[in-house]
Amino acid sequence: MDRTPSGVGGLDELIGGGFMPGSSVLVCGGSGTGKTILSTQFIYKGAEQYKEPGIYITLEEGSKNIWWNMKSFHWNITKLQQENLVKIYRFGMFSPKEFALKFDEELEKIKRMVEEMGAKRLVIDSTTTIGMFMESESEVRYNLFKLIDEMKKLDCTTLLIAETEGTRDKFSRFGVEEFVVDGVIALYFVPPVRCMLIKKLRGINHDKKVHPFEINEYGVEINPSEQILWESLSK
C-alpha cells in the first residue's frame, strides 16, 4: 500500500510507513508544543526527500517567520522554493464582515496554486485562526467544515493545525475539526518533556501509546521505543 511518509523521524514506523495519500490530519496541541515545526518539516522533507511539491499556508505567522523557522534547522529551503517544490503562502486577513466573500477567493487561490505546482502536500496553520474570524459557533463550524472538505478534494495529504489549551483530552478548539479529519495527532509539552499521541488515523493500525519527542537541530524526532504515561499529562 502506498503511503505518504511524514518526514518526521520516528513517526512513520508508528503509523505503518506514513499517512494515507490524500488524507487530512489534524495536528493539535497547546502553544509552543511544536505544531509549526513538525508541519514545516512535513513540507520540507516531502520536497527534499520525496520530490513532492508542498504548500505551507500560514495564517498565524508571516511567511518570513516560517521561512526563518525552516532556515534555523539548516534546511535548504531557498533551493526548494526556486525549484518550485516549496511555497509558503500567507492567507489574507479580513474583518468578520468581509470574511465570507474573501474566504472563497482565498480557497480558489489555493486551488490554483495546488494545480500549478502539482502539490501533493499542504499545511494550514491554523484552523484556530480561521475560527477567530467568525462571530458565531455555527459559522465557525460551517466554514471549518467547508475548508477541510475543499482541501480533501484537492487530493493533497494535508496537515491542519489546531491550537488547544494543551490539556490532555482536548483535541481541537471549536470541537468540529477533530471529527471532519481522517486523523488526529496530539502534541504535549510537560516541561521539560515533549510528547505525542496518535489519537486516530482512519484505515491505519497505528500505535496507541504516548511517545516522547525532541526538537533538535534536525527538527522534530520521535522516540518510538519509549513511552510516557497518559496520567502524567495535564487534565
Ligand X SMILES: Nc1ncnc2c1ncn2[C@@H]1O[C@H](COP(=O)(O)OP(=O)(O)O)[C@@H](O)[C@H]1O
Is residue 90 within 8 Å of 156, Cβ to Cβ? no
- With contacts defined by CB under 6 A, name the span among 30-38, 105-113, 115-123, 145-153 that binds ligand X: 30-38
Whole-number Cα distances in Å, 67 to 39, 51, 61: 12, 19, 10
Strand ranges of the sheet holding 183-190, from the earlier edge strand across to the other edge: 86-90, 54-58, 121-125, 157-163, 24-29, 183-190, 193-201, 210-216, 219-222
Question: Among 4, 23, 33, 36, which residue interacts with Mg ion (rule: CB under 5 A)?
Answer: 36
Q: Does 167 bind ligand X (CB under 6 A)?
A: no
Please state, in angstroms and rounded to a whole number, the distance separating the CA atoms of residues 11 and 114.
26
State the CB neighbour count (10 A cutoff) for residue 137. 12
Q: Toward ligand X, which CB reaches closer, 70 or 176?
A: 70
Q: Toward Mg ion, which CB reaches closer, 6 or 58?
A: 58
Please state, in angstroms and rounded to a whole number, the distance separating the CA atoms of residues 204 and 99.
36
Please state, in angstroms and rounded to a whole number, the distance separating the CA atoms of residues 27 and 53.
20
We find the least distance from the C-beta atom of residue 84 to ligand X, in angstroms, to be 25
DSSP assignment string, 91-111: -----HHHHHHHHHHHHHHHH
We find the least distance from the C-beta atom of residue 231 to Mg ion, in angstroms, to be 27
Please state, in angstroms and rounded to a whole number, the distance separating the CA atoms of residues 65 and 221.
21
Per-residue interface string for the shown chain with ligand X, residues 61-100, x marking contact by CB under 6 A: -----------x----------------------------
- With contacts defined by CB under 6 A, name the span among 24-32, 77-85, 101-109, 150-158 that binds ligand X: 24-32
- With contacts defined by CB under 6 A, name the span among 9-17, 34-42, 112-120, 224-232 that binds ligand X: 34-42
We find the least distance from the C-beta atom of residue 212 to ligand X, in angstroms, to be 14
Q: Does 172 bind ligand X (CB under 6 A)?
A: no
Give the binding site for Mg ion (CB under 5 A).
36
Give the binding site for ligand X (CB under 6 A).
29, 31-37, 72, 215-216
